[in-house]
Amino acid sequence: MAQTAEGMNVNDGDGRLVGWLERVIALWIAAQIAGVTFFFGGALNTGKGMVFSTWMLAGLAVWFSLWWVCLPEGRRVIRPVGFLFVPWLAFLAVSNWVITPAPWVGRLELFAFCHAAVLFFVVVHAVRSARARWILVGGVLGLGLAALGVAVYQGYVDTGWHPAGGRVWEQYAGRSVGFFGNPNSLAALMLLLIPAPLYLALDTRRGLTVRVLGGAQVLAFFWCHVLTVSRGGVLAILPMLVLGGFLFCSGWKRRVGVAALLLVVYGLVFFGQSTMNERVGGRFAGMMEAKGESSRQLLYPAAWKLFLNEPIAGNGVGSFPVLWDELVPVNNAREAKYAHSDYLQTLADEGVIGFVLLYGPLFGLLVFGLIRVMRERDDFSGARMWLAIAVVGLCGFAAHNAVDFLMKIPSLLFLQFVMLAWIASVFFKREVVLDDASGARVMMVVCAALVASWGLAVVRPVFEVERMTYGADNRIYHLKSELSAGEPLDGELLQEASDEYAAALLLDERYVPAWAGWGKAKLLFRHLHPKATPRVVDDAVADFDTAMELGRPTWRQWADRGDALAVMPSRYGEAVASYQKALGLAPEHSILWIRYANLLIRNPAAYPQAMAALQRALEIDPGNEQVIATMEQWRQIAEGTVQRQ
């Protein structure tokens, strides 16, 4: 009989083949998580990441089907807990179809959540033996060690290097990001990985070699965690270590002693690193002085206001990046995708309904697991071991999630749902036996075929649209930067970007970012063909109008439309009207008021209105020296004391 986790009532089937297939499934899941992290920074917001994860999911469906077919009669069961998150996914699908103003963003999130739910289902059913789970854990721990190597290189050799190509964003200079796009994600990965080797290090039943290796890996992961310089990560790991000390040991004296020792060891690693890396000490010193944090001060109030506007069903999955800066005073031009708190963003996007459907089961499993582990605190059987490892890691992850967008990083989301499946396997043992063997086989084959077809028919076009639009956007950004620097416009590069937008719209004519980008590209053609400016402006404005018709108009779209119209002096009035529309949507955006003032001042008769616009920008962003200097210059011009430059 296939080996099962001790203390767990499971039916994994007889025969070596079933056991080997279970281990293959575990290894495949580890490879999917590692692959998404290695090659795509843990995210699926690139087309290639979407296709890779979909094909891995199709392969997983094939392996799961083979495992299912090889089960003996009477052992083919469906565990209803595997469908725990289906109501939430159904709500998200409706939200993305009916409610959201940004379905092109929502479908990416829905895509990742569907993958996580499938992994949850498979792990609940087919990854239940101790050996299979250790294979999965071992694969993910290998990912952690690889991430450590990258983090050390980024921390000590080249702070801007990234293994996926390109450079680490300048704002993260001096902070290790590993394979991810930001350091907080690497810190969260360490939170999920530390409990397993920590348990091995503290388990007195293990041999000395295993305990020493476990302790060494814990120290290595501490080092990696500190290299991220993640304040949220530090605030999450400290209570997690205390919890681990209490749950992984027996006897109150030993629990207290181990918890204190873990805090001391982490503190030594932290302070040792802070003396070697000024970035570490400086960032945390700023935290103690309440400095260095500006984005969350804007994002949290915006997310809360969005929730209050639509508290029941939310504003729609993926709506936050489109709507947030219409509700709060903004004194910069940043574009944010996430609220930096998954709990707040879930409330804003999905309302109470989505929040309850997601976090009700999630926190329910976590609380049940914690209670079970505490009740059996002196039992170190296999079932309790997996519960304790999952509970400690998920508690740290949940704490960090309060100040970051970890649920939006699919590789972290996948690993979280795998650990939730371990807890669900213990508490929910109800099974439905499928007696019709032939029908069961047909069902599994059909499911595998559907997943593969979905990858070909749905995900592939989405990948192409995302890839082409993303590439074209980068080209347009590069061309605008060159123009700002006084360099001539590269006509071939502009034509490539325009062609990519057109090709993307052939695949999905309702893809709003492609319409908006195409409008910006067309507007640049006037630098190559000045005589065609009227036609170019008409075409660009038509594209901006199409983008607004397909989705909820945003202030950025209205402002881009106004900039396009402002190119033609004869359409000055239309440009002003477009900017007034933008200000109606984002009245607390100081940069928008400055842009509006720069448009108004083109008409000398509108000088009072232009000054009033700058004054409004100054009220939103007091002390803005650039605005103050501009107002003084305009006053001097109006008074005739200086010549207009």
pLDDT in tens, 192-242: 999 999 999 998 888 899 999 999 999 999 999 999 988 889 999 999 999
Distance in angstroms (rounded) separating the CA atoms of residues 97 and 379: 48
d(CA 599, CA 12): 70
* b (16+ CB within 10 A) / e for 182-219: bbbbbbbbbbbbbbbbbbbbbbeeeeeeebeebbebbb
Each domain of the chain, given as residue ranges in start order, spans 15-282+295-435
Tell me the sheet residues that pair with 330.
Answer: 589
CA distance 404 to 97: 27
Helix (H) / strand (E) element for 78: namely: strand 77-78
Query: What pLDDT is stored for residue 12 in this prediction?
Result: 42
**Token pair 């739910």 is at which residue?**
117
What does the pLDDT look like over 466-508, one tens digit per residue? 778 888 888 888 888 888 888 888 888 999 999 999 988 888 8
Query: What pLDDT, on the 0 to 100 scale, is given for residue 46?
Result: 57
**pLDDT computed for residue 286 by the predictor:** 55
With a CB cutoff of 8 Å and minimum separation 6, the contacts of 9 are 429
CB-CB contact of 125 with 25 (8 Å): no
Residue where the block lists tokens 């803005």: 624
Q: What is the pLDDT of residue 355?
A: 96
pLDDT at 13: 40
Residue 50 CA, chain-centre distance (Å), reads 13
Cα separation, 198 vs 201, in Å, equals 5
DSSP states of 547-581: HHHHS---HHHHHHHHHHHHTSGGGHHHHHHHHHH
For position 443, what pLDDT does the model report?
60
- Whole-number Å distance between alpha carbons of 546 and 527: 24
Sign of CA pseudo-dihedral 221, 226, 229, 232: positive
| Per-residue exposure over 61-78, b if at least 16 CB sit within 10 Å of its own CB, e if not | bbbbbbbbebbeeebbbb
Burial of 323 from C-beta contacts in 10 A (0-12 / 13-18 / 19+): buried
What pLDDT score was predicted for residue 446? Answer: 62
Contact 358, 346 (CB under 8 A): yes
Record the tokens describing residue 216, joined without a space: 């060494």
Q: How far apart are CA 165 and CA 167, in angstroms?
A: 7
554: nearest Cα among 517, 516, 520, 519? 516
Q: Could you tell me the two tokens for 558? A: 């209205």
**Paired tokens of 380:** 């170190």
Looking at the DSSP assignment, which residues form a beta bridge with residue 589? Answer: 330
CA 181 from centre of chain: 10
The DSSP secondary-structure symbol of 457 reads: I
Please state the three-class secondary structure of 615-629 as a single string.
Answer: HHHHHHCCCCHHHHH
Q: Tell me, what amino acid is at 18?
A: V
Low-confidence ranges of the chain (pLDDT < 70): 1-15, 42-48, 74, 166, 277-294, 328-335, 377-382, 435-460, 640-645
What CA–CA distance (Å, rounded) separates 501 from 519?
9
Q: Token digits for 62? A: 């094939």
Q: Residue type at 47?
A: G
Separation between Cα atoms, residue 493 and residue 528, nearest integer Å: 12
In this prediction, residue 632 carries a pLDDT of 85
pTM passes above 0.85: no
Rounded CA gap, 197 and 192, in Å? 11
- Which residue is it, tokens 């997943």? 451
Q: Which residues contact 615 (CB under 8 A, 6 or more apart)?
A: 631
